Chain A
Amino acid sequence: MAATTTPPNSPGRRPGRTLDGMDDELAISVRGLRKAYGDNVAVAGVDLDVHRGEVFALLGPNGAGKTTTVEILEGYRQRDAGEVSVLGRDPAHADPHWRSRVGIVLQGTGEFDELTVAEVVRHFSGFYPDADDPDKVIERVGLGGKAKARTHTLSGGQKRRLDVALGIIGRPELLFLDEPTTGFDPEARREFWELIRDLAAAGTTIVLTTHYLDEAEALADRVGVIAAGRVVEVAPPNRLGNRQEALATVSWRTPDGTLETAESATPTALVAELAARYGGEVPGLTVTRPTLEDAYLKMIGHS
């Protein structure tokens, strides 16, 4: 990630972010963020850092506070408390210049029924000072064959691609994606993931919310697990819940057919011992470590 911390289109975007050294590395910095709707506390003290060039996934169950958090970062909602800096600015006071550096892919789709894909993308390209070529962007999100189609004729996945096209047409330094693949079939999700990787490779900082574990695992450099309005853990997906250090579960069948299991910090030694005991093959032997799902369920269950 270090090699791509500076987006390719960054000239002229330096001024205004010289408060301290941290600002150059952090795309997002959040401390003590709180937001309540009446008695319902949606975000109960979130701390978060997202580095430039990073793909960061906010993972959590429905109602955990993902969308509220992200919409505060996007400048859509006002917070009750906490400090928030996004690209060096407080999003509560978003100005057009800041808006032109931030791309947003919202949850909703299907907004411009009467227009074609090309018309919508071209129209939005006019909003940005340094917009990308609309035709190129349409091609990039995989809608090349649909450029002249009215948007209401697109499938769900294609509409989402159009959303992404509108999110990246201004060549953002930072792109927010709110549950981008909800409702996709498996193939469409894989294709979508490729698109996200492609954007990340070009240096765009990406923050996505998802409740799909495999999505967070496939895309994110780091995952923040959010539950009941708090960030429970932030880690690279393979280290989430300390599962690399967790005990391994070894199970096998005894000669009378019953299943034996044992948790062990030294599963190799246990397997060697079992092999010696059975004189070779151990019937029904498996060695497992907690999956991401196990770690995740444990985290959100105990918060």
Chain B
Amino acid sequence: MTTTTKPAAPVAAAPVRRLGPGALALRQGRLEITQFLRSRESVVFTMGFPIIMILIFASIFSGEIGGGVKFTQYFITGMIATGLMTVSFQNLGIWIPIERDRGVLKRYRGTPIPKWVWFAGKVIMVVVIGVAETALLLVVAVLLFDLKLPDTVGKWLTFGWVAALGVTACTLCGIAISSLARTARSGSAVVTPVALVLQFISGVFFVFTSLPAWMQQVAALFPLKWMCQGLRAVFLPDSFGAQEPAGSFELGRVALVLAAWCVIGLLLCLTTFRWTTRRDG
């Protein structure tokens, strides 16, 4: 990832001429990633948080969850899901209001680029940072806590689609919730409590089935619980499915709920997204 932080010297020579939409989107993504990596709070809170959490949790709960399976194997699923939610939902929900308040969005609207290019830039940033962070998390867990990586192609595929659907849903919800914040500062006040509560009730910090039943019911309405559950199907032995609330990992339902949140998020984005602040008309 560090390659994207290089100073912009190489492209110096000729003025850039009419770029295609794809090239515009890639440039926008590169700019977003550069801005992200240079912002210390983004890197620490978004990328650092899940790593710190896995270090703490895997050190405290060094025992087994049962059947010769270490606690790390369980916690990694919550940390990956949390990490993906942080980089998409929280990151966008906090930064878009700041950019809207500063007039960044308004400035983009005043240029000839199509609106979707700006969104594409955000999505590219979320995907690249999300993949990097997940990889980092896995490397740390494998090296320090003997994490067992998925051992079949099928499980990696499940990993892939659960992460992709989860990130898509959280990205859309992050963009949607960004319109709730009235000022630059209120973004994190809107987003952080939602994210924290979801983490506690969705089985990120505790074993999901040990939570009160009503809490499980509430969590089941939101994407994070399903992301965690889908990832458990990847990192825990198949036999553990029997211990899930429904007696299996319910991958079909995971896909369904996450897809539903993609649709809800998209509809919210399309109906509520604002390019300017309220006081700005």
B186 at the interface (CB under 8 A from A): no
Q: Flag if A99 contacts B111 (CB, 8 Å).
A: yes
Which A residues touch B103, using CB under 8 A?
106-108, 111
Which A residues touch B31, using CB under 8 A?
115, 119, 123
The bracket for how many chain A residues form the interface is 35 or more
Residue interface mask A222-247, B partner, CB < 8 A = 1:
00000000000000000000000000
Specify the chain B residue showing the minimal Cβ separation from A75.
B110
Which A residues touch B182, using CB under 8 A?
none
Query: Which of A50-58, A127-135, A182-190, A206-214 lies at the interface with chain B?
Result: A127-135
Specify the chain B residue showing the minimal Cβ separation from A126.
B16
- Known A-B contacts A76-B110, A97-B112, A123-B31; A71 and B281 likewise in contact (beta carbons under 8 Å): yes
Which A residues touch B19, using CB under 8 A?
126
Alpha-carbon gap, A75 to B275, bound state (A): 13
Specify the chain A residue showing the minimal Cβ separation from B24.
A126
Q: Flag if A114 contacts B7 (CB, 8 Å).
A: no
| Interface hits, A243-277 → B, CB 8 Å | none
B112 to chain A, nearest CB (A): 4
Q: Flag if B106 contacts A124 (CB, 8 Å).
A: no
Q: Flag if B104 contacts A127 (CB, 8 Å).
A: no
| Interface hits, B1-56 → A, CB 8 Å | 7-8, 11-12, 14-19, 23-24, 27, 31, 34-35, 38-39
A256 to chain B, nearest CB (A): 59
Alpha-carbon gap, A112 to B7, bound state (A): 15
A125 at the interface (CB under 8 A from B): yes
- Known A-B contacts A71-B281, A115-B34; A122 and B102 likewise in contact (beta carbons under 8 Å): no
- Known A-B contacts A37-B281, A122-B8, A127-B113; A132 and B15 likewise in contact (beta carbons under 8 Å): yes
Name the residue in B8, B15, B17, B18 with the highest tally of chain A Cβ atoms < 10 Å from its Cβ: B15
Alpha-carbon gap, A112 to B104, bound state (A): 8
Alpha-carbon gap, A88 to B113, bound state (A): 20
Q: Flag if A108 contacts B102 (CB, 8 Å).
A: yes
Which A residues touch B107, using CB under 8 A?
104, 106, 111, 166
Specify the chain A residue showing the minimal Cβ separation from B105.
A111
Alpha-carbon gap, A119 to B4, bound state (A): 13
Which B residues touch A102, using CB under 8 A?
110
Secondary structure dominating the interface of A:
loop
Within 8 Å by CB of B106, from A99, A108, A125, A170, lies A108
Which B residues touch A134, using CB under 8 A?
15
A173 to chain B, nearest CB (A): 13
Q: Flag if A114 contacts B112 (CB, 8 Å).
A: no
Q: Flag if B110 contacts A129 (CB, 8 Å).
A: no
- Known A-B contacts A96-B114, A115-B31, A135-B12; A76 and B17 likewise in contact (beta carbons under 8 Å): no
B171 at the interface (CB under 8 A from A): no
Q: Flag if A111 contacts B99 (CB, 8 Å).
A: yes
Within 8 Å by CB of B110, from A106, A113, A125, lies A106
Q: Flag if B112 contacts A99 (CB, 8 Å).
A: yes
Q: Flag if B112 contacts A111 (CB, 8 Å).
A: no
Q: Flag if B106 contacts A76 (CB, 8 Å).
A: yes
| Interface hits, A55-102 → B, CB 8 Å | 68, 71, 74-77, 96-97, 99-100, 102
Within 8 Å by CB of B34, from A119, A125, A129, lies A119
| Interface hits, A127-164 → B, CB 8 Å | 127-135, 148
Alpha-carbon gap, A100 to B109, bound state (A): 11
A110 at the interface (CB under 8 A from B): yes
B177 to chain A, nearest CB (A): 22
A153 to chain B, nearest CB (A): 13
Q: Flag if A114 contacts B34 (CB, 8 Å).
A: yes
Alpha-carbon gap, A116 to B34, bound state (A): 11
Which B residues touch A219, using CB under 8 A?
none
Specify the chain A residue showing the minimal Cβ separation from B12.
A135
A17 to chain B, nearest CB (A): 18
Name the residue in B8, B14, B109, B110 with the highest tally of chain A Cβ atoms < 10 Å from its Cβ: B110
Specify the chain A residue showing the minimal Cβ separation from B14.
A133
A40 to chain B, nearest CB (A): 11
Q: Flag if B113 contacts A118 (CB, 8 Å).
A: no
Besides A122-B12, A128-B112, A170-B112, 11 more A-B contacts (Cβ < 8 Å) are: A96-B113, A106-B103, A106-B107, A108-B102, A114-B38, A115-B31, A115-B35, A115-B38, A124-B111, A131-B16, A148-B7
Binding site for A on B (CB under 8 A): 7-8, 11-12, 14-19, 23-24, 27, 31, 34-35, 38-39, 99, 102-104, 106-107, 109-114, 276, 281
A-B contact pairs, 17 of them (CB 8 A): A76-B110, A96-B113, A99-B112, A102-B110, A106-B106, A106-B110, A111-B104, A115-B38, A116-B7, A119-B7, A119-B34, A122-B12, A123-B31, A126-B16, A127-B112, A134-B15, A135-B12
7 nearest A-B residue pairs (beta carbon): A108-B103, A96-B112, A114-B38, A99-B112, A104-B110, A100-B112, A126-B16
Binding site for B on A (CB under 8 A): 37, 68, 71, 74-77, 96-97, 99-100, 102, 104, 106-108, 110-116, 118-119, 122-135, 148, 166, 170
